[in-house]
Amino acid sequence: MIINYLKIFCVACLVGWLFSIANLPLPWMLGPLVTVVILEAYFKKKVYWKVKFRHIGMLFFGYVMGSPFNMETCKYILSHIDLIFVMTLITLGLSLLGGILVKKITNINLATSLIGSIPGGLSQMAVISEEVKEADASTVILMQTVRVLVTVSFIPFLVLYGLSNSFESVVKQTYPFVLNDLPQLLIFAVAIVIVLFFTRNINIPTRYLTIPIVVTALLVLSGFNAPKLPSLITIVAQVAIGINMGQSIDLITSKNWRKILCYNCLNVLGVICILLFIDYIYTKMNGLDLVTMFISTAPGGIAEMGITALMINADLAMVTSFQLFRMLFILFVGIPFLRWWLNKRVVMQNETDTF
């Protein structure tokens, strides 16, 4: 089994390196993702990769995303909490509106279309779809797969080659390992592991990313210095995450999958473009950086958008704040309310049919 892990890791690294040479966005994550999808979908090769490897990769990125937080950053975030809340509602509202339009065009049921359009995690949405009576889990997975593919490819590409003119170039900094940083890194590592252990029975969304972000931020706010991780570690972490993401993408063939794929792709692109327009207007009025604002509000995953922000040296703390708040809001408020409303709607329809 170890040989299988090493094989896919080496192939994924090779493709990631080729993507890097070609200057494609997020090469070390998209390269492995594409590798796995091609191997499984077209060559029918079973890819073996433990989800634990992804968790380890997420731990490192959680540390990186939590390290920019300081007192000034917190004051800035608190002063913009109303903006974060409003943009979260706008992103969620646009996604649900797009889901309604997809429902009308493709004739899938409302529950499936709404759950498939929410910018939450693919795995979380798959679980939720099984808890809602009307929802078709396979179609939800297809719609979420399209959303993931579009956001992790189109948004970084647009940011790096369309919006980042204000930057000198795509940041490709390398950080060598410094032995003096080891004691500080061990403090962060031990603290993260301890919190993970004592919260193992608590249902925390995306815990292997959320907990490192929060623990790292709290330690930095307490006065600890967060050293830069060696570049090799961040590359390996991206490869581990990318392979796992590729595994989660199942190119299934439902009845009208081509129609669903096409219109859902247009739906995701439409939401992205509308958000970009809103961000442009807002940044022009308030003098904020458009690239940072766009990555912060984009309907992508917190890990993918964090990596994108890291690549172009955007305000990582702001991006993390927006994305983390939206993720928690959707998981703790948006999804429970939507699940309750959809199930209640089914009950009311059954009662009406009975009479």
Residues 155-178 pLDDT 10s = 878 887 777 654 444 444 555 566
pLDDT at 169: 40
Among 351, 346, 350, 352, CA closest to 110: 346
Task: Answer whether 268's CB lies under 8 Å from 163's CB.
Answer: no
pLDDT band at 280 (very low <50, low <70, confident <90, very high): very high
pLDDT at 167: 42
More confident: 177 or 8: 8
Q: What residues contact 64, with CB distance under 8 A and at least 6 apart?
A: 229, 234, 306, 310, 316
Distance (Å, whole) CA 302 – CA 306:
6
pLDDT band at 249 (very low <50, low <70, confident <90, very high): low
Task: Answer whether 192's CB lies under 8 Å from 63's CB.
Answer: yes
pLDDT at 75: 79
Distance (Å, whole) CA 78 – CA 353:
50
**Which amino acid, residue 246?**
G
- Classify residue 143 by burial, with Cβ atoms within 10 Å: 0-12, 13-18, 19+: buried
In angstroms, what CA-CA distances link 76 with 71, 72, 80, 318?
Answer: 9, 6, 6, 9
Task: Answer whether 124's CB lies under 8 Å from 205's CB.
Answer: yes
* Structural domains present in the chain: 2-354 (1.20.1530)
